[in-house]
Every structure is written in structure tokens, then in C-alpha cells.
Structure 1
Amino acid sequence: MRITKVLLAAALAAGLSSSAFAADKLKVLASFSVLGDLAAEVGGDHVDVTTLVGPNGDAHTFEPSPQNAKALGEAAVLVENGLGLEHWMQRLVAASSFKGETVIASKGVTPRLWQGDADEAEELEKNTDGKAIDPHAWQDPRNGILYVNNIVAGFSAADPPHASDYRRNGDALNEQLTTIHDRLAAEFGKLPEARRRIVTSHDAFGYFGAAYDIQFIAPEGLSTEADVSAADVAKIIRQVKNENIQAIFVENITDPRLISQIARESGVKVGGELFSDALSPVDGPAPTYVKMFLNNESQLLTAMSGS
């Protein structure tokens, strides 16, 4: 009987200790799945990450709920992309009691501008000339390194005792991203210019294209909320035919019917699925930021090389 009581007391103590440890974790709210993964990688065992827009979710069309406001109010750190991606964030913050640290992951990024009509992306941030800013900066792994560094700084400010751990985790992740960029530059650099044209659902790969000299053509603009006219689709179909474009891709967050129409009417097969604004579920091909690049690299190179 004495042994049983001792074991029970030990088990209860262990349970209390575990609960206390969980309570001590830094509560982090990330706006969408890419940032949720980066926050979890940097934070490791020291953080408890909640993500608003989850796998295969679309941050462009997300509408926050009262439950989201409650979750933000309980968070110590908010991680958002910035560059106008989360056009709903100001409303969410106002509806919450959030008083913690805000990390703008894209801080320090040199933004790309949308060259078309700014009205095609009305909810996006504009520069002084009225041009819409492309918010998809994470699609260049070198910008991903800036994201990681900003998250490290934010977590360290909110939780100084674990700053060295955050820095170590961030450095390890940045090493992977540097390797990915170097390999992508080398692999895409081998392709002839004529094969460096891709059709995708919406214009989410501008930073990727600029980094590796690839032209991405999209029926939708920078936002999935943009309206697509029959004339826009017809123009892209003509371009695919005239320029002998061999690679057409769907994205995990968009309706595939437009791309299917373009593929059908141009006679070009759909090359596969790219991950742009969201990661896949855990059992999918792109459950992490690093694996997103690995998936997209494999899909693109296979189609563009004609193999």
C-alpha cells in the first residue's frame, strides 16, 4: 500500500510538472501555415503555436472569427507576414485584447510591385504611386532567411531566457534555406530561356521567378479574390500556344477549373500541383516551408526540362 501511494504521488507530481511546463511555453499566434511552420521551427519546445489559416487555406479570403480574436488575446507573440497580405489583421487585433509582441516577418524585404492594374488587387497594400505590393515574399528562400531572423528577434524579445535556443534553431533553418537557394539557382540556371515560362493559377510566384529568372503567367492577379475575364483566359491560351509553353500548374489554394480550361484548350497537360500561399497537411507533399520548396522544385524541373 505504501508503494502504491508513493507511485501515485509521483505520478501526480509528474502530471503537475508537465502542466506547469506546458503553461510556461510562449504562446504564439501565426497568421498562416508558412509562418506557423517557421515559428514552430524557431521556437522548438519553448513555444505553443496556433495558426489562423491552416494547411491548404487561403489568407487572401480568410475572415476572422470571435474565436480567432480570443486566441489572439491569449497570445504573447503575433507573427504576421505584412506587405498587405493579412488585410483583415487590423480588424482582428482591434477585436482582441492582444498586448504582446508583434513580429512582421517580411520586415527588411525589398518588395516587388504588381505591374498590372492596381484595382486587380484592391485589398493589397499600395505604394505612393498606387501600385499594389506583392506580398508573397516567402517564395524566395533568401527572404525566408529574413523571416526567420525576424521571428528569432521577436521570440527573443518576448522570452529572453531562451534567446540562445531561438538563435540556434534559426541558424540551422537558415543554413537549409541557403542550401536550397544555391541548388535552385544552379538547377534552373541550366535550363534554356525558352523553357523558363510557367502558367499558374494566381500570381504568387513573382519573387521565385525573379530569383531564378522564370516567367510566371497567371489568369488571376496577386490575390485569389481577383476577377478573371474570358478575355484574360483567352489571352493566356494564345500565349501558351504561340510561345510553346510546356508547363501549366494548379495551386493547392485555388479552384483548378481555370487551369484545367487553359490546359484543355491549349493542348498542354497540367504538370502537377504547386504550393504557393499555404502548406499541405502533415501527410501531404509540402507540410513544412523547406518541403514546400523541395516539392515545387521537383514539379517545376520535371515539367520545364521535359523529362
Structure 2
Amino acid sequence: MIRLGLVLMTVLLGCLPARAQQPAPLGVVASFSILADFARNVGGDRVAVSSLVGPGGDVHVYTPTPADAKKVADARLLVVNGLGLEGWLPRLVQSSGGKAVIVTVTKGIKTRKLGSESDPHAWQSVPNAKIYVTNIRDALIAADPAGADVYRANTAAYLAKLDALDAEVRQAVATIPAEHRKVISTHAAFGYFAETYGIAFIAPQGVSTDSEASARDVASIISQIHKAKIPAVFLENISDPRLMQRISAETGAKIGGTLYSDSLTAENGEAPTYIDMVRHNIKALTGALGR
């Protein structure tokens, strides 16, 4: 009798419809941590996102590893900034032999120029970050049409958060006296922020950290601080602090804190997400300039 019951149960279970298999997450590799955060917000559970340059890394001068080549080889999508930021990337893609679709997220952004160079730091303007996010959404939908509704919903929710963040930054800047809206930062990473929000940034280094500031550049910065009465200099999380410390000592301009320019922090740090990064930076700026 027991054996008959087991047989009947087996037959009945066999007649039940098979449970739908969840698709494997789409493999997405981002060139650096800020783009990885955007991709996670858009992709949600349907994507598995990794970053080549991790938290605290400098994407300008990064040296890829064999593990990076494997990541690229296994990826379906490779999310990159472009505008000359990842000069090391084309060789990595070629050596990996992978067939990932390359998504350049600055498509559609009005590019700033610093001399003959394009300024790649477009994410420092929150309205530009929204363009990054929609480009990622469109690439994910093209790669995984079945997830289109999920990607659209995730993007709409995240864009609403970015709209609120943009308003937050504008309100904070409005509390800074106009004559105080001038700072010194290590390299020219905040040009898009300056254009969007009206704080002037002066930097001894150009748009990349791969070249050192000359003695003439440093002397010019020191002269500008004295003439314009610039109240504060800021360190950057990816740069050696000694140059800014020297400029502060020679001018009397206070060190206003550390700004996050090209990299997020680890999960337990001050800026583990893009939104956290922007909030940290504006809090540092208003704290140093708003008096």
C-alpha cells in the first residue's frame, strides 16, 4: 500500500508544470566604480556587475591585470566612459578576445574641452549622470529584451532620486556667498560640476592625473589664491595629498576636506554610491565655503 502511494505521488508530481527557470544574471563589466553603481541601479537582480577599477582606484593611470582580461572575456556588456578616460582599455579588450558589446555612456553629452583635451568627468554634473543612466538602460534592454520592463522601472525610480539630488545640490550651493564660490582641487575633475552649479574650481593638474603639476602651475595657483582670496583647497581621494598641503601651507588657505572625484569608496566608506559621493562633496564644499 505504501509503495502504491509513493508511485501515485511520483506520477502526480510528474504531471505538475515545471517551475520556470530564472535566467542567469547578465554579465556586465564597468570600467570603474561609479559606472558600476549606475549599472547596478538600472539592472537590479537581472545583472551581475563587476568593476575593473575598484573603489579608491585611479582610472586615469590604471594597469589592467590578467583577472581583468578574464572579466572582459566573460562579459556580455562592457560599460565605459570614453572621452579618453580609459586609455588602457582598448588593448585590454583586444587581448581578452571577448565579444562584449561596448557601451559608451557619455553618448549625447555636451563635452567640455580643456585646451585640446576632452574633459571626461561628465558624471560630476547630476543632469549628465541621468544621461549615463539612460544609456545604460537602453543597452541593457537591447541585450536582454525580456527584462525591458524591469530596466525601465528601475531607471525611472533612480532618475527620480537623481532629480532630488540635483535639487539638493542647487539648494546647498545657494547658501554659499557668491564671493566664496571658488576652490582649489588637485586635478581638473570638477569642470562639469562648476558649469552646472556655479562653483569655480582651479586645479594645478589637468584633466588627467598621469602628469605632475609644474612649478610654474603651482606658482600660478598660489598667486590666484592670494589675488582672488580663495578660502579653501581640497584634497582628492585618488591623489597624493602633499601638493595640496604645500599650497595650503604657503597661502594660508585652509584644507576644506577630501572630495571624491573619479572613484567611490568601499561599502563601509564615506561614498559607497554615486548619490553618497555627491552628497559628501557638497557637504564638504558648503562646510568650507558657506561661512
Task: Identify the residue that residue 76 of structure 2 maps to in structure 1.
Answer: 76
| SS of the residue 1:282 aligns to | coil
- Which residues in structure 2 correspond to 1:1-307 (within 5 Å)? 24-115=24-115, 131-306=116-291
Contact 2:175 2:286 survives alignment (8 Å): no
Size of the alignment, in residue pairs? 272
Task: Give the C-alpha shift of residue 163 in structure 1.
Answer: 1.2
Q: Deviation digits for residues 114-160 of structure 1, max 9, x if unmatched?
A: 04xxxxxxxxxxxxxxx110000000000000000000111111111
Q: Which 4+ stretches in 1 moved above 2 angstroms?
A: 20-23, 189-193
Contact 1:219 1:232 survives alignment (8 Å): yes
Task: Give the C-alpha shift of residue 178 in structure 1.
Answer: 1.1
Task: Give the C-alpha shift of residue 75 in structure 1.
Answer: 0.4
Counterparts of 1:21 and 1:146, CA distance in 2: 33
Task: Give the C-alpha shift of residue 82 in structure 1.
Answer: 1.0
Task: Give the C-alpha shift of residue 171 in structure 1.
Answer: 1.1
Contact 1:64 1:92 survives alignment (8 Å): yes
| SS of the residue 1:238 aligns to | helix
Counterparts of 2:22 and 2:232, CA distance in 1: 47
Q: Deviation digits for residues 183-242 of structure 1, max 9, x if unmatched?
A: 222331343321110101110000000001111011111100122112211221121122
Counterparts of 1:156 and 1:288, CA distance in 2: 23
Unaligned runs of 5+ in 2: 1-19
Contact 1:102 1:154 survives alignment (8 Å): no
Counterparts of 1:98 and 1:153, CA distance in 2: 21
Identity over the aligned pairs, expressed in percent?
44
Contact 1:25 1:48 survives alignment (8 Å): yes
Counterparts of 2:180 and 2:276, CA distance in 1: 24
Q: Deviation digits for residues 74-100 of structure 1, max 9, x if unmatched?
A: 001110011111111111111112213
Task: Give the C-alpha shift of residue 103 in structure 1.
Answer: 1.2
Contact 1:249 1:259 survives alignment (8 Å): yes
Counterparts of 2:176 and 2:283, CA distance in 1: 14
Counterparts of 2:65 and 2:264, CA distance in 1: 22
Q: 1:78 to 1:212 in 2, by over 3 A?
A: same
Q: CA RMSD in A?
A: 1.5
Structure with max Cα Rg: 2
Task: Give the C-alpha shift of residue 22 in structure 1.
Answer: 8.6
What amino acid maps onto 1:28 in structure 2? Answer: V
Unaligned runs of 5+ in 1: 1-19, 116-130
Counterparts of 1:247 and 1:22, CA distance in 2: 53
Counterparts of 2:43 and 2:69, CA distance in 1: 22
Contact 1:200 1:250 survives alignment (8 Å): yes
Contact 2:175 2:290 survives alignment (8 Å): no
TM-score (norm 2): 0.90
Counterparts of 1:204 and 1:32, CA distance in 2: 15
What amino acid maps onto 2:213 in structure 1? Answer: V
Q: 1:236 to 1:243 in 2, by over 3 A?
A: same
Task: Give the C-alpha shift of residue 277 in structure 1.
Answer: 0.3
Q: Deviation digits for residues 24-80 of structure 1, max 9, x if unmatched?
A: 110110000000111111111111111000111000001112221111010011100
Counterparts of 2:77 and 2:98, CA distance in 1: 9
What amino acid maps onto 2:70 in structure 1? Answer: K
| SS of the residue 2:239 aligns to | coil
Task: Give the C-alpha shift of residue 169 in structure 1.
Answer: 0.9
| SS of the residue 2:79 aligns to | strand
Counterparts of 1:39 and 1:101, CA distance in 2: 14
Contact 1:189 1:212 survives alignment (8 Å): no
